[in-house]
């Protein structure tokens, strides 16, 4: 779980609006009632582990779509960095810049070794309720597997 502070399973997911590299602002409330959301926080674009994770989400993008879910990746990287990262790796999902770390703090994403921004995935249902939290700094593909497993158990209404 994401620690003693922040979001827990069963909590309403805190709403947010953050910029994306394509110039739009993405808000969590826009998905409520429309689709589930897989919200994953990653430490830094263009690093080996984060690239592997983003590409795992990309490679399973159809599976998320089939389960009625949107995928949103969040890091503290600049919009310019995220734009290049998305283009270089053909990432079909939303990438958002949390440059000041406010969203990471709001959700209670822990730091690894007290230094490295954590890697946490939240699965949010159609009503905006957090149904699963997965924390693992180095098991990148497990984030994808866990999210799909949880989504398969969701009702579509």
Token couple for 113: 């070794």
Choosing from 50, 72, 95, 96, which is the catalytic residue?
50
Backbone region of residue 73 per phi and psi (left: phi > 0; alpha: psi in -120 to 50; beta: other values): beta
CA 138/CA 58 separation, integer angstroms = 18
Going across the sheet that includes 69-75, the strands are 94-97, 69-75, 36-41, 120-124, 130-135
50 is catalytic: yes
Burial label for 80, CB within 10 Å (0-12, 13-18, 19+), is exposed
CA within 13 Å, CB half, 133: 22
Q: Annotated catalytic sites, by residue?
A: 50
């Amino acid at each position: 779980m994401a620690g003693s502070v922040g979001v827990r399973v069963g909590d309403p997911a805190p709403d947010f609006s953050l910029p994306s590299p394509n110039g739009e602002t993405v808000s969590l409330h826009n998905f409520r009632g429309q689709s589930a959301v897989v919200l994953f926080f990653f430490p830094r674009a263009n690093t080996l582990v984060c690239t592997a994770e983003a590409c795992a989400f990309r490679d399973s993008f159809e599976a998320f779509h089939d389960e009625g879910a949107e995928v949103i990746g969040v890091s503290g990287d600049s919009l310019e960095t995220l734009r290049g990262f998305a283009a270089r790796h053909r990432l079909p999902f939303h990438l958002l810049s949390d440059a000041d770390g406010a969203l990471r703090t709001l959700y209670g994403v822990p730091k690894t070794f007290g230094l490295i921004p954590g890697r946490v995935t939240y699965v949010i249902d159609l009503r905006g309720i957090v149904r699963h939290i997965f924390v693992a700094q180095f098991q990148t593909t497990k984030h994808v597997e866990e999210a799909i497993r949880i989504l398969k158990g969701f009702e579509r209404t």
